[in-house]
Amino acid sequence: MLPMWTNILISLRISLMATGLVMAAGLPLAWALSRPHWRGRRALDIAVNLPLALPPTVLGYYLLLLIGRTGPVGRLTRALWGSTLIFTQTAAVLASAVVCLPLFVQAARNALEDVPEEVAEAAQVDGAGRWELFRHIYAPMAWPGIWTGVLLAYARSLGEFGATLMVAGNIPGKTQTMALAIYSAVQSGQQSTAHLLALLLTGVAGLSMWLGLRFRKPGSGGSAIHAHRGRPQ
């Protein structure tokens, strides 16, 4: 059996990359869903949150259809590089990102919706455009909630199992994360190894959350409120 630190490094690498992908895709989605009264909002809301209602194996199956040999992404990667993404760490990253996306979007969306409308209206009166509103008003004031979403997505990706097993397999030294290593240990009757791996995964997840919460600073929304309220209209 490979050293346990190999599984830890693989898990951390996949989780960090998946969290980055979730942030890149999830923040625009959270922003769009936090804006009221536009056509298609409910359909997008359902699509984003559907992974919460589906088993991870079902999500993995859909990913297989997408990135497998006959899928649209699979055909593209075969044409470009001669292979698919199946049984690679990239597939594991995609699986974790799909599973974790709703957690991040919900936390970020709630935080963006909690920003007082009068603050945004005051900024618009001062001539702020949509990008300036997001950058100088919404993002700073909603940052604690957004960061909470980041931590939730990261912690969930550390323990992701079903979708990852479907598309990335359980290859030691390549795609075998901590969760998959625990599964293998239990299947082979190595209870002491499974126990130790479970404790390590719990410790890594707990330490990551603790460190993340230490960097969770309040947004600069208060200063933004006072700045805009103090300006003559």
pLDDT score, position 31: 92
Using alpha carbons, select from 85, 104, 107, 98 the residue that is nearest to residue 162. Answer: 98
Percent of the chain topping pLDDT 90: 65
- The model's pLDDT over 3-26, given as tens digits with 9 standing for 90+, comes to 788 999 999 999 999 999 999 999
Supply the CATH number for residue 169's domain. Answer: 1.10.3720.10
Task: State pTM to two decimals.
Answer: 0.86
- The model's pLDDT over 95-122, given as tens digits with 9 standing for 90+, comes to 999 999 999 999 999 999 988 887 777 7
pLDDT band, very low/low/confident/very high, at 125 (cuts 50, 70, 90): low
- The model's pLDDT over 54-79, given as tens digits with 9 standing for 90+, comes to 999 999 999 999 999 999 999 999 99
Long-range contacts at 211-217 (CB < 8 A, ≥ 24 apart): 212/147, 212/150, 212/151, 212/154, 213/151, 215/147, 216/144, 216/147, 216/148, 216/151, 217/143, 217/144
Range of the domain at 149: 4-229
The answer to whether residues 5 and 84 touch, using CB atoms and an 8 Å cutoff, is no
**Number of compact structural domains in the chain:** 1
The answer to whether residues 78 and 69 touch, using CB atoms and an 8 Å cutoff, is yes
pLDDT score, position 222: 40
CA distance 184 to 95: 19
Using alpha carbons, select from 194, 110, 173, 181 the residue that is nearest to residue 145. Answer: 110
- Structural element, H or E, at residue 48: helix 41-53
The answer to whether residues 60 and 168 touch, using CB atoms and an 8 Å cutoff, is no
Rg of the chain in Å (alpha carbons): 21
pLDDT band, very low/low/confident/very high, at 228 (cuts 50, 70, 90): very low
pLDDT score, position 136: 76
